[in-house]
Chain A
Amino acid sequence: MNNERRVSLALTSTPMILIYVMVVFCVIAAIRQPAFLSPATLINLCRAGIFTMCFAICEMVVIISGGIDVSFPAIGCVAMYVPMYMYNNGMGVDSVFFFFGVAILIGLAFGILNGVLVAILKLPPLIATLATSSVASGGLIMLLGTREFTTLPPSLDWLYSINLLTYTDPATGFKYPLTILFLVPVILCIVVALVLRYTMLGRGLYAIGGDKNAARVAGFNVKKLQFTAYIFCSVMASATAMMYTTLMHSSTTTALMGEEMIIIAACVVGGCRLTGGHGSVGGTILGVLLITLVQNNLNMLGVPTSWQIFAVGLVLLLGAVLSSIQAKRIEKLGKI
């Protein structure tokens, strides 16, 4: 392939098109609403993207390994609700370690359950995690009721109050703080990207997502890798859920329910293939950015917020069409 073809392919690759769409979106928003260009927009975007980003990385790892996990919102709800419930009923200590520790243990337990269902019992991942989701969500409501905790314990309140930086709008005097928890998705992205690219564990996840049988023949421990993916997803989603409680001052049994579809969509827009073996941290970041941008700044374009779901739908459609066109283009290039 000559260099010109290479460049033209790179310029029209899916990530580049996502970037173009985002740039166009921002330019239009900036023309209609000069306030869009304020640093406040960026800070809001970062805040709004924290959860989506963390969840998307979790889901991406499972999708790369050839599976899918629709149970993380339900597991997250259990993980955010149970520690708060314990605390409010006099069981437990007021410590960041307690809240996050219990959340992570809960995530670990459900991650192992998903691993057993998928890797050992060989259930289809969609059905297995759907079952886990119902069991987790239903069990929580059945055993612990449906309260809503809106007051944070002092330790979490302390965590909430630490900011990385605060921007004060010179015109209005409004303060826009960026929480320290923003570092979590940043570090997560870096670590996961490095693990996926530079460790046998990471390459193993791609390998089992590409061809399980070939991976077995090559000597990869397929079951162990599947367990790793599901446990990582649940544990990280549980910690993210506790971050949600901290930042939103709210812990309910259903706060995250329904999130799975938009997260999976963000992964797919970012280049993950649901058949497994494909996906990257960079692509997923782009997918999350685009969806977060559209979700939070539609009003800047002068589009009513009631159009939000519709607009997100359009973004998904764009992602799906893009990957299908890309696949056709590659096919046209012919086999080598």
Chain B
Amino acid sequence: MSNHLENQVRTCDTTGLPVCLTAQKFIKLNGVFAVIFLLIGAIAAVLLALTRWPAVHLLDAQWYYRILTAHGMNMLIFWILFIEVAILYFACTTLLNSRLFSKKIAWVSFVMMLVGAVMVNVIVFIGKADVLMTSYIPLLAHPVFYLGIILVAVGTLIGVYNFFATVYIAKRDKTYDGSVPLVVFGAIAAAIIAVVTLLHGAVVMIPTFTWSMGWTAQPDPGWYRLIWWGLGHQSQQVNVCAMVSVWYLLASLTTGAKPLNQAVCRSAFVLYILFINLASAHHLLVDPGVGAGWKIWNTSYAMYLAVLASMIHGFTVPASVEIAQRAKGYVRGLFGWLTNAPWKNPGFSAFFLSLVIFGFIGGITGVTLGTQQINILAHNTLRIPGHFHATVVGGTSLAFMGLIYYVVPLIFQREFYARSLAIIQPYIFGIGIVMLSFGMSFAGSAGVPRRHWDVEFTGANLAAGFDSGTHLWLGVMGIGGVLAFIGLLTFILLTVAAVFFGKSNKGRAMTPWATPKTLVTEGDVDATEDHRSPGTMTLVIILLVTFVVYYFANWLALTDVWHVR
């Protein structure tokens, strides 16, 4: 039973799903501004890559830290939060066959988020908040900077409330039967994590704002770091959850894959809900104020349950694709299903590249760097950005790009131009990010610090700097950054052209991206009932072996600097 208001719903001409027109408006608004903030963050990104590459060293110190602040805020907060609110509104309305709970609340949320994000950007670019995204106390920014973040956090929290209220009325009005779909369950998990995240944001930013106004004393720096990372890192866990939901959605849209086992997939999301937020403690592993018990519990024993969840999703998502492909008749060898996957569909290539980059680079480095002993090698080196550019950019942003290749034709009802360019875009971006991440990670392994403007320490009384091998990796990082920027700019141009000037597809199905043909006939029971996934098992074993080698290589590296006699 539907609860849509009269004339406030349409049926998607491609999927047959109901689209709440109020939700559609806010999906569009949040989506458009998400891409604008992505563009600002991307321009900042290429300037930073060309500065951290010593052979170019583009910006002066002041502009480097200013642009680094803008890059972090736009990429890690604004782009991600705006697109995630759009995803939440889509999941709770279209997939639950429900109307959006409140248009007014959606407006309040959107306006607060937008005003806050504009305030932060303006105050950063006029040079009143060169404090980086973390804004560690005692660094002091203009009060508008903190107020803008508070507005964004509270606005997003209001949007999350609208999501939960919609889930409530959908259940009350019985708009769906049984359990919510898996993608909605993933969105609920992301929203729960967002609540914890945004509460931490409010708790840390309000006293920091009153301090910046001169009304209260300076908060304790140790306390600030503890609570701020409840915002800073946990917001990236919202990304992980939303990204995994998008993986399931894109796997279904591009290959017809169905979740391998609903209970297992949902249980993995529950592990995220309960334990993934503890990972914030990684950032305090060298802080003296908190003890070893707190550090070890939060970053290993409990947090590994969230790692287990990622490993479950890392298996079930590609395995569901493999089973769907084998059911279509792509049964040859271990990887016939993969080589015959729709690689010319940017929705699929973005999703699968995101899965591989997140798992093989982001996941393996994350678990290793989060180990307390090994962390001492890597803390505050370029290895850390090398890790999170693989998770947040190569993982989350690339998956969201894949989603947008469907959102534009299905929600905006516009077709993409230059489709051949769209086909190669995820590869350009993915290769660029992999090069960037590798360059950062290896340069960081040589000791190159993160955040620092001049790793050569020009003008220092003592000789400093790094050898030619390290400079080679910094060059790889720079070239990768430029390549990723080209890929990102291509994506933005394609999206803007489609949204504002694309041909309308109203009244007909979207022009399909490539989808695999079915080779088997209806009577071929062996193929359609084959639920094995040996190819995915092989990939999983390769992942685990890679992890073991990387993990022990790091312990070996630790023995080089920490002699035990």
Is this pair of chains taken from one and the same complex? no
Binding site for B on A (CB under 8 A): none
Binding site for A on B (CB under 8 A): none
